[in-house]
């Protein structure tokens, strides 16, 4: 098995502005190479 140093992190934020601030900081600090922002997510799940 090949070990990978890549991962996907999903987070929710209180506003699009907050998300943009976090995304810009992560990319500027080179902690993320790419950030995708999804304006609306619909979830169906069971707790």
> pLDDT for 20-47, tens place per residue?
999 999 999 999 999 999 888 788 889 7
- pLDDT above 80 (res 4): no
What's the confidence (pLDDT) of residue 3?
80
The answer, as to whether pTM is greater than 0.85, is: no
Alpha carbons 25 and 28: distance in angstroms, whole number: 5
Cα(36)–Cα(23) distance, integer angstroms: 8
The beta-strand segments (E) located in the chain are none
Q: Contact, 15 vs 27, CB < 8 A? A: no
């Amino acid at each position: 098995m090949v070990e990978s140093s890549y991962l996907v992190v999903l987070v929710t934020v209180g506003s699009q502005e907050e998300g943009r601030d976090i995304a810009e900081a992560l990319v500027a600090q080179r902690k993320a190479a790419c950030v995708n922002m999804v304006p609306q997510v619909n979830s169906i799940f069971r707790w």
